[in-house]
Structure 1
Amino acid sequence: MSILTWIILTSLFGGTLSVLFAAALTLNTRASWVQMLVSYAIGALLGAAFLNALPEALELSKDPARMTATVLFGILLFFILEKLVLWRHCHAEECEAHDPLQGTALVAAPAQDQHDHGRSGMMIMLGDTFHNFVDGILIAAAFMADVQLGIVTSIAIIAHEIPQEAGDFLILLNSGYTRRQALLFNLFSSFATLLGGMAAYFMLQDMNHLIPSLLGLAAASMIYVAMSDLIPGLHKRPEIDATIQQVALITLGISSIWLAGTLFAHHA
């Protein structure tokens, strides 16, 4: 199967699967499932970053100092981008970001009136569409470096997209959209992953030297999302049984990425 076919299939399948899974969780209001997925997503993101993306980037770059600087720059860049989103959303007295139940979704509620005539929902969709486009670029860069790395990166992205999409779904419902509208908007937004992947594939054909840097940024993105957006929410459940469950699911996420990488490496 060609690299482009891999990119198209994983972008379409990953985006559609995460939206449908998130919709099923949200419609059935299984909050505990979303919390469990957040813990698993943390492990998947960290596993993909440290066991796959970063080692591959270091191997391709041949300059460890430059690559670690790229990762450091990426973490700072994602922090700044997130601040810009927060400044745009948090224009009222009450603003809560990164609800642990909702993954990386942003929740912005006007101080005076909970009903905002769809404004917060539409802003979330615009932000999520851009996020999905960037995910597509990172997936394409990973596949162009190595098929096994592309598959593992796609698994990690799907894992963290499910709780995020669940959060987006809830925000759209709270913003006044119907369930059908929320599902269609999320599905439409997910196609940005395919657009980003195809755009990156054709651009990187003549710019292979950018692939190591993009892999470094992919690692930075995964590390930042896991450490900044997802892990703080877990600390709001300090009970010993909740902590044991969280550690077990994080370990499961890391192990599944390691196992996937090992299996695909053997079949490559």
Structure 2
Amino acid sequence: MLAVLISGVASLSIAAVLSFSTMSKMVERMVSLSVGVMLSTTFLHALPEAFEMTHDPVGLFATVLGGLLGFFLLEKFSVLRHSHHHEGDGHDHEAGHDKREAGSTGWMILVGDGFHNFTDGIMIAAAFMADVQLGVITALAIFAHEIPQEVGDFIVLLNAGFSRTRAYVYNLLCSLLAVVGGLVGYYTLEQVQSLIPYVLALASAGFIYIAVSDLIPQMQRRTSIRETIPQIILITVGVAIIFVITSSMHGHAH
């Protein structure tokens, strides 16, 4: 529960500070860091853990495939939304474009965030039940991604006419759904331990989808060497963070 709260509420508060101070460069850096953290968490820890827990590789790969297609469909129908675009970010939209868009989607963003945070809670619970180390790493990966995602949502809500206080309070309520998801995941998966590897596979699909369909395309828009080098460095730092955490925990375990 502590990991769920930190990954949700703490990341939300940091996002609020960044949003209200319009530190867009910091948000861009967080996107690059998130890619390294999420992909290394997926391929170095979550999926290997899932495959160690069950002798059903076809079922796990099918779960990853189904997850990727499912997240695609959810995003298509605006249930799941990951957008970091806002006025003044250098995208070629006419003035006021985002405000018109946000006016009709502000509440949908909150609904989508609530659903997304609920599933994050389930995934963190499954990771902790599989292995405490994996739980910590999964919570860290979600924390890293939540900051740029919430910054984007904050700015869209502000453009839609929400006050700063209302935007923060509503986002906070949505983030607390992660706690509900964590409790549901813990008590449900405790009864059906055999489902844990498949939940980990689904979580991995979510991380892959977010990194590949949302975060990396944002980074690809910035093509100059001056912008590319920091991206590469921060992706490497993200991978290194996960590697160091894993190594230190293995050391304590032994």
**So what's the TM-score if we normalise by structure 2?**
0.91
Q: CA deviation at 1:80?
A: 1.3
Alignment correspondent of 1:217:
202
Structure 2, unpaired ranges of 5+: 88-93
Conserved in 2, the CA contact under 8 Å of 1:100 and 1:233? no
Conserved in 1, the CA contact under 8 Å of 2:64 and 2:204? yes
Q: Which moved more, 1:226-235 or 1:68-77?
A: 68-77
What SS is found at the alignment partner of 1:62? coil
Cα distance in structure 1, aligned partners of 2:140 and 2:101: 35
Conserved in 1, the CA contact under 8 Å of 2:102 and 2:159? no
Residue 122 of structure 1 pairs with residue 107 of structure 2? yes
Identity over the aligned pairs, expressed in percent? 46
Alignment correspondent of 1:65:
58
Q: CA deviation at 1:83?
A: 1.0
Residue 9 of structure 1 pairs with residue 31 of structure 2? no
Cα distance in structure 2, aligned partners of 1:168 and 1:100: 9
Residue 141 of structure 1 pairs with residue 134 of structure 2? no
Residue 179 of structure 1 pairs with residue 172 of structure 2? no
Cα distance in structure 2, aligned partners of 1:245 and 1:267: 33
What SS is found at the alignment partner of 2:77? helix
Cα distance in structure 1, aligned partners of 2:109 and 2:236: 30
* Aligned amino acid, residue 28 of structure 2: Q
Structure 1, unpaired ranges of 5+: 1-7, 90-96, 103-108
* Aligned amino acid, residue 26 of structure 2: W
1:130-178 deviations in Å (ceiling 9; x for gaps) = 0000000000000000000000000000000000010111011001011
**Equivalent residue runs for 1:21-100 within 5 Å:** 21-85=14-78, 98-99=83-84
Q: How many residues were matched structurally?
A: 246
Alignment correspondent of 2:224:
239
Cα distance in structure 2, aligned partners of 1:193 and 1:233: 26
**So what's the TM-score if we normalise by structure 1?**
0.86
Residue 158 of structure 1 pairs with residue 151 of structure 2? no
Q: CA deviation at 1:100?
A: 5.7
1:224 and 1:117, CA in 2 relative to 1: closer, same or farther beyond 3 A?
closer
